[in-house]
Each structure stands twice: as structure tokens, then as C-alpha cells.
Structure 1
Amino acid sequence: MEDIILNILSELAVGREVDDRSLVKIINAQARRDAADKRAYAKRRLLPFYQRVKRDEPQRWASWGVTPELEEKLLAVLRMKPRRTASGVATITVITKPWPCSSDCRYCPNDIRMPKSYLHGEPACERAEQTWFDPYLQVSARLTALSQMGHAVDKIELIVLGGTWSDYPREYQIWFVSELFRALNDSAIADVAANPMLADNPSALDAAMCADANSQRDAGVPAYVAARRAFYRECGFPQTAEEFAAFAAEQQRAIDTGELNYNRAFARLYGESDAWVRATQMQSATLEELVQLQHANETARHRVVGLVIETRPDAVTPDALTLIRQLGATKIQMGIQSLDQQILDSNDRGIRIERIQRAFGLLRAFGFKIHAHAMVNLLGATPESDKCDYRRLVTEAPYQPDEIKLYPCALIEGARLCRDFDSGAWIPYTEDVLMDVLAADVLATPSFCRISRMIRDFSSNDIKAGNKKPNLRQMVEQRLAVGERVREIRYREVGTGLVDVNALRLDEVRYETSNTSERFLQWVDRDMRIAGFLRLSLPHTDYLADHVDKLPVRAGEAMIREVHVYGAVARLGEAGAAGSAAQHLGLGRRLVERACEIARDEGYTRINVISAVGTRGYYRGLGFEDNGLYQRRDL
């Protein structure tokens, strides 16, 4: 292992690039020299080895002659999946436990092992099930994996997915988020370097975490993780995927045959489970406890710079949003699917367009970033109606989300849509038609909106009909004609590329919604690549007056809904670690100052920011003061 590291360093020292192909050659050559299995020198083992030597054998590490410049290049070579943190933060997705759903859409999967609409084979769902949907354990597993792959985990965006958030009991909501903060504050990372066997595969790590508490320190697993896992074992929860499948088999069969719907099957399966009842009794916390954990996170090693909650438009109320904001959330994912009332009704969505419009208005007034889900090829839709529907979503005043998940409808066994497929009432688009629809949608997306995803993480084995290709987005982008201008944000992100700050200019995009005037400020280069942006909302006075008793903001107050600067993640307090990345160049500060100028010129006397817990200190440094649900600055 040491020879491989030294070979990489020697290549880098003379200015040669070491890409993945070069690294494979170095590894294979060393394996041949040692007459060893090349898998013993896998890339995932190299970084933990390097970190262990640097930490535990300083003299040996010093003999390698690693300068700060060389180390930066070496870590870039050893880091796995660099795009995971290319947007400036490390993302951790966690899943809430199965729970009854307030809706029963025709297209929705009904996997009783999961929250409604999710499948146990999706990566995040597999991790959640292995940890019994415990938020602390889920964060610990992801922190360990991201650290093992070489990603900085100083700035964390937490994405909470699962059932409709507000359908869960209030005490569970508070407990779940409290445990997320607790895990980050505890820095609950398994010590892979202390036990190299943990680096081989996730199941080895999982097996170590399941060992008895007395052996945890030797296994490199945090003691609190061991204790929490022991609690679930003592409750009598299934321990393996096979046991989970057996536990749910009877009720899943009843769902698949149409004998039971999800909610009735849930009541039978979980309502009669002593293990789930006992765990539920533990899953409770108070807001006072959460506030203490949030306060500690402001200066923790792993700071929460974004917290995302998933819900439905009909669950968006002032009371629900107040609690969600108290939890520290900054972004809301919301299932829209379609703006055609007939299509919504055909798919048993159970919601009116007027309710969707009201949800958008409330979310914007509360300062949340709005991440909408849109689906094409629903029952009753046509390619042309889908294109029209999407244009309405991204251009009409009541909507215009900040971010979109754009999915083609996929048929999953157990969904009620299977009957429509069998009867011929629903037919999946051909690949060519689907590409045409999605390409048109990409081109229609304005510059202030980001298309975050185009597929769900469904396994192709779970998809009965519909798109099964995981590289759908790449296929769509390849279909775009040469010279066609794509304005959506993700297509333009600088990502892991170099940023020439001198080539950047500040571009301002204005658009009107039903209750705000919006300003999207973006740092762009000559090719319109985006290095950072800010979302400024200027609320309409008449809307504020009509909702004066329901909103936490008052007339004369503007709202910064998001500030984001791209580039490779820089470790907090180590500005030099980012090299020429966009972060730590003062771009965020200049965006905020320009937003304040605009708000002042428009007659606003104060400006709020919907800051995340881990960014409160940053905004205090820009003159903002803590003020209830937000931080505020006088203009």
C-alpha cells in the first residue's frame, strides 16, 4: 500500500496527472510485483491507509515528503465520487419510518417495508432498513462512508425523505431531527483505519456495528452506535434483509393482490408488532432539547448548512411550516406531479390546483426554497400535454419552483396503476418520445431553476414498465441540438472545475410570482457557468396584509431564501484547502450585500435570511441578528 502511495506522489511531484486509468495501472503493477490480489489494493483502501499513517505514524508519514500542495493533489486522486460534494456541501439522505399515508395515488409504489412511494431496494432505503430507520444510525453510516471516500464532511445538507412529513406525530418529528443533530454533534464516524476489514464492504461495517457493546471500541465503531443498535435488537426487530422480507411477506402479498391498501396493511403489520410499539415509545423529544442540540451544532465539526423536509401541498399550512422552521429546515420538497386537474383526478392525487397554488405562496412567504416534484407520462397525459404542463410549472406566477425533480412515471409492482397497464389504459412512452418530452422540458427551464434529478433510484428489476436506464439525464442532454441554450442551474454548475474569479460577473434575473417579486443573483463566467447564486424575495404588501396573522414576517421585510457558492468543498476555517474553488473568495458576502442594496432601493427597511443552524455564525458576521425563526438585519 505504501509503495502505491509513493508512486502516486512521485508522479504528481513531476507534474503528471494521475487519473483513474493511471491509478489502476499503478495498482495493477504493484499487485504483480507483490504477486498479490489487486483487490487488496483497491482505491477504497488507499485513503484510509494514508489517513491512518498520517495520524498514527508521523515519522513514517514525514519520510514521504508530502507538502501541502502535494497532499491536496493526492487527496483529489484518492477521493471517490468527487461530484458528491461538488456543489459545496456533503449531502446525507435519511428516511423516516413506514407510516400511514394521507393519500393513495394510482402510480405510487406500496412497499409495506418502507414509507409510502419508496422501495426497500433504493440505496437510501436499504441503509435505513439496516438501521431500523433510526436517524442517528443513518447519519453515522453516511458520515463513515463519505469520510472513507475522502469527502470533507464539515458542511452537511440533511435531506429527510419518506412519507408526508406532517402526517407523522409532532413528537416523532422533533425526535427525528434532534437525533440527526445529535449524530453530527457526536461526530459518529466509525474508525475504518483502526479496523481495515471495515473498508472492504458495507456489510462488514454493518456486522461490526451489530456486535456486542463491549467489542465496539476494538471494532472501531462508536459506543453510542453500538448501544442504539443493541436497543433495536433487544426490542426484537428483524436483523437482516431476509428477516425483514419474512416479517412483511403476508401483508405485502395482500397489497399486491388488492386485498388491502397500504394503510390497512400498515395497521396489521406494525400495529401488532411489539418491537415497533416499544421503539415508538422511545421516539420522542421536546423542542427545548432540540434547541440545545442546534446551538451545539453552530460550532460543531459537522455543521448543518441545509435541512430538507418532504411533504404534500395539502399539508402545507402556517402551523406546519412554523414547526418545520423551528426544526431548522430551509427547503421543502413537495410532490406536484401535474398542474392539470383532470390528470390529478385520474391518478387519484386527491388535491385541487388552488391548494397547490396556496402552498407555493405560503412556502415563499416563509422563506423556504421550493423543490417541486413533476412527473411525465401519468395516466391520461400525452407528450404535448406534458410539455405544456411543465411550461406552466416553471413560468406561471403561482408556481415557478427553485428546484425540480423531473421523473417519468415508472410502473412498480403493487401500484394500482398496474391494473391500468394490464387493461391498456396506461402505456409507457417509447424511449424516443420520452427523450423528446424531457429535452423540451430542460430547454423550457429558466435560469433560476435547477433540475436536480430525472430518475428515481428504483432497481430495473422493480420496474415493470417504463424507463429502466439509469443514465437518463445524460441521454437527454446528448439529445439536445448543438447550440441549444440550456439555462437550468445544474447543467451550468462549475462543479469540480476551476474558477477564475476575475472572469466572473454578477448577473441579475427578475421574475414575478403571485405574492413576491423575485431577484435571482448569480455569479457567472463568459460561458454562463454558475459559481454562486442568491435568491431574494420581495413580498407584496397586499399578500402580507391578507395573511398578517399567519405569517412570521411583516410588511417592509425582504427575505433571502438561499445563498449558495459552488466549488469543491473547503474545510471550515481552512480557506487554502479549496485552492481555486469558488468558495472562500468572498462571493457569498458580495451576493448578500447586493441583495441588501436591492431591498433598500425597493423601499424595504429590513431583510431576513432563512439561515440553517450551521450558517448562523456566518450571517452574524454579515450584520444579521437572531430574530425568532430567522436572522434579521436593518437596512
Structure 2
Amino acid sequence: MIKMDLKQYSEELLQLIKLGKVKDAKKLNALKAKLAEKYGFKEIPTNPTIMRFLGKSPEIKALLPKKPVRSLSGINVVAIMAKPHRCPGHCIYCPSSQIDVATPKSYTGREPATMRALQANFDPKTQVSERIRQLTETGHKANKLEIIIMGGTFLSTELSYQKEFVKQAIDAVTGKHSKNLEEAKLQAETSQRRITGITFETRPDYCRKIHVNRMLSFGATRCELGVQILNDAVYKKIRRGHTVKDVVLATRLLKDAGLKVCYHCMPGLPYANETLDLKSFKKMFSSEDFRPDNLKIYPCLVIKGTKLYELYLQNKYEPLSTEKAARLIAKVKKFVPPWVRIMRVQRDIPSQLIEAGVKKSNLRQIVQEYMQRKGWKCNCIRCREAALRKFKEGIEYEPELKLFSDNYRASHGTEIFLSFENPERSLLFAYCRLRIPEQSFRKEISNKAAIIRELRVVGEPLLLGEHKEEAIQHKGLGAALLREAERIAKETFDKKEMVVLSGLGVKEYYRKKFGYKNKGPYVHKKL
């Protein structure tokens, strides 16, 4: 699309709206498609693109609404991508660039985050700034942001590059020009726009103590591990390059350091089947060695240029169809514990690049419809978040909230999942992950310390000090969960100290309101 054509397209759209030709979103979408055909666009311009050319026109803002689902879980995500680099893995299913320029391993160049990164020449500051601009232009409050650093195995790049990349990303949020990473992190603690968390994607074999310590030094709060399947025989055949033991070790190190753990899982891999996939998912939650906090489920896809594509052409591999993938994921959602959040169920790859596999972009919806027909329910966090359910189903909040506590063993420690929910446990408002480690390798976490790995109140992110009658945030739920976690640590487990791993921009909340003090990458206080 040529910039001048986009401007003319946007201005013509606005004129038709002002003339009363458009009354609702359905008619707007039809008009957008008709104009796109008129101007010869292969794709319909996105709402943020249109708003960029029309500024703050009230007519267009009323009809080009934000996607509230993106922020109803209490955060706005800013996904950025590191420069293309050699990944230590050689997985046969992993795609490379499907365009004329290089992209990080496992990305085609057509994913929204990758396209933003390419436009910014992979500059972190530009990527973050552009994403913030998009969020604000589409009506989101970009005051609480979670940064996700994607692109191959970031922790395998040069250390100097990693430090500078993270520093630039933080500076883009705070609006500062820091001398070094430490100064950037310090300024992020009190900036007007806050970083509530930083996430890194990595492989289990690039998640040793040295890598976990480095992530903490970067301000990390969550790590996403490429687990795919818990099966060494399959790992070997797909050239994954690590073992299940690596997953066990990485999971424990992350939890003992206070980080949240997300598994990337890939059902439908070659040399696996539905039985092995289900066995792997069940093992994740039945075995104390695993039990991740979050899941991202990405059915295996056939992309040109991969070894898997060659197997597919030779009729040696058949990927999961949309129906089979939906059925499998539905079975998984049926037994997922209430302390797990299923974050995604599909990769963001355009269907025209998928040679075989799940091509429909609404896989989550297909899964939900299948479960409804079967009379099944998913008890994961995302499916019970009160704000999401109110938006999607029109369910009103109930005044009666109950405090629940789910205790379970995981990775040589005890996990206590505290949550405020309605009595039926169908609506979740806030939750806390308290861990009692047997022995952490971090000097800040002694054998007399407990650690809070996550404290979250769901719902629309509010500005610092802002209050809304209908909102969930800023109602004291987080404070109540923190006090209960402190009580349990002291009275039940005889702990003398509480350590919290929080986002850089949340540390001040613990210091000012609850008397915590900085201690390395954490905040802590005596109980």
C-alpha cells in the first residue's frame, strides 16, 4: 500500500461516515472492504492505520473501537523482536523467513509483531514507541505495559547486545535516555508509564542458572519455555536438541528464582500422535516436576522451506486438521487446573503461508463451541476472568467474593494459589502465586523466606490513583491477597521474610504501601 493512497482511502472513508453512510461496525467493515477494492489494496487497512491518517476525528474514533480483550486481563502487551540471529536449535518444523529479508528463526515475516519489527529495523526503542502509539490511538491506556522479547533464542545472542536491547526497550517506555541498564531500570520504578513485567522466550537448555540470573538482571518476571512435548524419543527425531530433564531443571530454576513459567506446547508433531500428546499434557499437571503457570498451545504447522515440508510432500507426515486440533485442545482444557492460564491456542501466522495444518484463525472459538456441545467446561484462569466474561457473555459481577486457596507440590517446593472468586468459582477477580521453595539458588531467598511470584488483579488497567466504580482494579483485592500470603508464610510455614518478584514499575507499590525494600531484583520485608 502506498502512503498517499492510504491517506486518500482514509479521508474518503471519513467523508462517507460524516455523510451518514455508516451507522455501525458491520456497515463500516463492508465499506472498508469496498474502498480497499477500489484502491487496489490486497489487504483491508487496519483500524490503527486508518486512525494514523485521520488523527483524533471523533466520528472515526466512535466507529473504530479498540479491542478491549487485549487489556481486560489487567495489562497491555508490547511484543518486540530481537534482530535475526543463528538459533542453537535445528528443529525440523521450524520456519524461516518467507519474505525477501531475514527474520528471526521460527518467524515467517508476516506475523504482526515481525512486521512491526521489520519496519523498525529491529530497533527496540522504535518497536516499543510504535506499539505504544498504536495502543493509545486505539483507545487503550498504555500506562501499564508488559514487554515480551521474542525472536529465536534471545539469550543466545551476544551479551552486550542483550543488555543494550533491554535498556533501549525500557527507555522507550519511560521516555528517558539512560546511561546504562541499571539506570534505565531505576528510572522505570517511578516513571509515569510503568512496566508491570518483562517476559523472555527461551529453550530449556538455555535456561540454566546463568541464564535465569541474567533474565533477573534484565527485570524479568516471566519466562516462556519451548517445551513442545514431554517425550525424549520425539525430541530426538525432530532434532529438538534437548531432553525432558532439561525441562525439569529449567522449570525448577525459574520457580525457585520467583519467575512465572509458561510452556509453549506443540501438539501434532511428527512421530507423535493424539495419545502421546494427551499423555504429555496430563504429565505436565500430574507430575511435580512440571506444573507450569501458563500454557501457549501451538498446533504443528507445515511451512515451506522446512524439513517437515519435505516429509509432508513425501506423504510421511500429516498435520492435525482444524477439527482434530480443536478436539485435542478441548480435551486438554477439560483437565487443566484452576491455577493455570491458557494464554494462546494458535500461532499468529497468515493462512496463505500454511501449506497444511490448522488454517482457520478462530481456533479458540472452535474449541469453545466444541466444548459447549459436549457439555465440558474449562477452569483455566483466562476462561474465568470476570472482566473477560462480562465483556464476552454479558455476565454481571457478583458482590459476594470468596477467598480460595489451592495448594500443590511443584519443582521441589509448595505452591499456594490464592484467589478472589465468586462462590461457584466461575468468576475470578484477583490471584496470587506464593511459593515455599525447599532451597533456592538465589542468595536473596534464604531458607527462612517465602516468595510471591505473581500478584494480579484482572480487569481494565487504571491510571495510578484512578478509581472507577465498575472497575475491578484499585479495590483493595491485591492488598488483601498480599496480607493473606504474608500470614500463611508466617503462621503455616514459619517463614521470617517475604520476597516478591515484581515488575520494575510495581516495586514502588510494595515499598510505599507495605513497607518492602529493594533487595537485588526483588523487594522484601521481615514478617
* Fold shared per TM-score above 0.5: yes
Give the Cα–Cα distance (whole angstroms) in 1 for the partners of residues 375 and 235 of structure 2. Answer: 36
Q: 1:536 aligns with which of 424, 430, 434?
A: 434
1:560 and 2:479 correspond: no
> Which residue is equivalent to 2:37?
none
- Structure 2 match to 1:81: 67
Greater share of residues in helix? 1
- Which residue number corresponds to residue 306 of structure 1? 197
Deviation for aligned residue 1:414: 1.0
Matched residue of 2:387: which SS?
coil
Distance in 2 (alpha carbons) for counterparts of 1:372 and 1:85 = 22
Query: How big is each residue's C-alpha offset from its partner over 1:495-542, in whole Å with a ceiling of 9 and x where there is no partner?
Result: 3538646322111111111311001111112452111111111112xx
**Which of 441, 461, 485 is residue 595 of structure 1 equivalent to?**
485
SS of the residue corresponding to residue 352 of structure 2 reads coil
Is the Cα–Cα contact under 8 Å of residues 444 and 519 in structure 2 kept in the other structure?
no
Partner residue, 2:281? 390
2:379 to 482, 487, 496: 487
Q: Summarize the Cα distance change of 1:610–1:535 in structure 2 as closer, same or farther, 3 Å threshold.
A: same
One-letter identity of the residue aligned with 1:571: L
- 340, 349, 370: which one aligns with 2:231: 340
CA distance in 1, matches of 2:281, 2:312: 24
Query: In the superposition, relative to structure 1, how do residues 43 and 468 fare at CA in structure 2: closer, same or farther (>3 Å)?
Result: closer
Higher mean Cα deviation, 375-384 or 414-423? 414-423
How far the C-alpha of 1:79 sits from its partner, in A, is 3.6
Provide, for residues 269-302 of structure 1, a one-character-per-residue CA deviation record: whole Å limited to 9, x for no partner. xxxxxxxxxxxxxxxx9xx711212222222222
Partner amino acid, structure 2, of 1:568? E
CA gap of 1:501–1:633, structure 2 versus 1, over 3 A, is farther
**Aligned equivalents of 1:350, 1:291: Cα separation in 2:** 34
Q: Partner letter of residue 487 of structure 1?
A: N
1:160-175 to structure 2, matched below 5 A, reads 160-175=149-164
| Cα displacement (A) at 1:612 | 0.9
Q: Per the alignment, do residues 369 and 77 of structure 1 end up closer, same or farther by CA in structure 2, a change over 3 Å counting? A: farther
Superposition deviation, residue 484 in structure 1: 2.0
Q: 1:486 to 1:555 in 2, by over 3 A?
A: same
Q: Out of 359, 363, 380, which is 1:472 matched to?
A: 363
Partner of 1:297: 188
**Contact 2:255/2:411 (<8 A) preserved:** no
Retained in 2: the 8 A contact 1:522–1:530? yes
Q: One-letter code of the match for 2:484?
A: R
1:141 aligns with 2:39: no
Output the CA distance in 2 between the equivalents of 1:76 and 1:584: 27
Shift, 1:390, TM fit: 0.8
Displacement of 1:110 in angstroms is 2.2
Query: Within 5 Å, which residues of 2 pair with 1:437-516?
Result: 437-480=328-371, 481=373, 483-496=375-388, 497=390, 500=397, 502-516=399-413
Post-superposition shift, 1:126? 0.5
Q: Tell me which residue corresponds to 1:195.
A: none
- Aligned CA RMSD, in angstroms, stands at 3.0
Displacement of 1:586 in angstroms is 0.5
In structure 2, what is the equivalent of residue 130 of structure 1?
119
Summarize deviations over 1:452-494 as a string: whole Å, max 9, x none: 1111111111111111110011101110145423111111112
SS at 2:205's partner residue? helix
Deviation digits for residues 229-260 of structure 1 (CA, Å, limit 9, x no counterpart): xxxxxxxxxxxxxxxxxxxxxxxxxxxxxxxx
- Alpha-carbon offset, residue 21 of structure 1: 5.6
Distance 1:165 1:368 in 2: 17
The aligned counterpart of 2:84 is 98
* CA-to-aligned-CA distance 1:188-247 (integer Å, 9 cap, x gap): xxxxxxxxxxxxxxxxxxxxxxxxxxxxxxxxxxxx9xxxxxxxxxxxxxxxxxxxxxxx
Partners of 1:299 and 1:75 lie apart in 2 by 31
Question: CA contact under 8 A between 1:44 and 1:80: conserved in structure 2?
Answer: no
Matched, 1:586 2:484: no
**Separation of aligned partners in 1, 2:350 and 2:54:** 33
Aligned residues: 489
Q: Distance in 2 between matches of 1:300 and 1:564?
A: 20
Letter in structure 1 aligned against 2:435: S
Residue correspondence of structure 1 range 191-230 to structure 2 within 5 A: none
Alignment partner of 1:117 is 2:103: no
Q: Supply the distance in 2 between the matched residues of 1:523 and 1:2 (Cα, whole angstroms).
A: 48
Distance in 2 of aligned mates of 1:623 and 1:634: 9
Q: CA deviation at 1:319?
A: 1.8
Inter-partner Cα distance in structure 1 for 2:323 and 2:28: 38
How many Å apart are 1:45 and its aligned residue?
6.7
Question: Match for 2:95: what amino acid?
Answer: P
* Alpha-carbon distance change, 443 to 19 in structure 1, aligned in 2, over 3 angstroms: farther
Unaligned runs of 5+ in 2: 1-13, 33-43
CA distance in 2, matches of 1:562, 1:76: 36
Letter in 1 for 2:376: E
Shift in alpha-carbon separation, 1:44–1:395, aligned structure 2, 3 A: same
Q: What is the CA distance between 1:597 and its match in structure 2? A: 0.8
Aligned-partner SS, 2:252: helix
Distance 1:78 1:298, change over 3 A: farther
Q: Is the 8 A contact 1:365 1:551 kept in 2?
A: no
Residues 367 and 425 of structure 1: is their aligned pair in 2 closer, same or farther, counting only changes over 3 Å? same
- Secondary structure (helix, strand or coil) at the match of 1:503 reads coil
Give SS of 1:408's match: coil
Q: Distance in 1 between matches of 2:257 and 2:248?
A: 15
1:365 maps to a residue whose letter is D
CA contact (8 A) 1:92 1:142 kept: yes
Structure 1 gap segments, 5+ residues each: 8-17, 29-38, 54-73, 188-223, 225-284
Q: Is the 8 A contact 1:566 1:581 kept in 2?
A: no
Aligned to 2:521: 629
Query: Structure 1 residue 365 and structure 2 residue 276: aligned?
Result: no
1:241 corresponds in structure 2 to: none
CA distance in 1, matches of 2:307, 2:77: 33
Letter in 2 for 1:383: E
**Other-structure match for 1:420:** 311
CA positional deviation for 1:305: 0.4
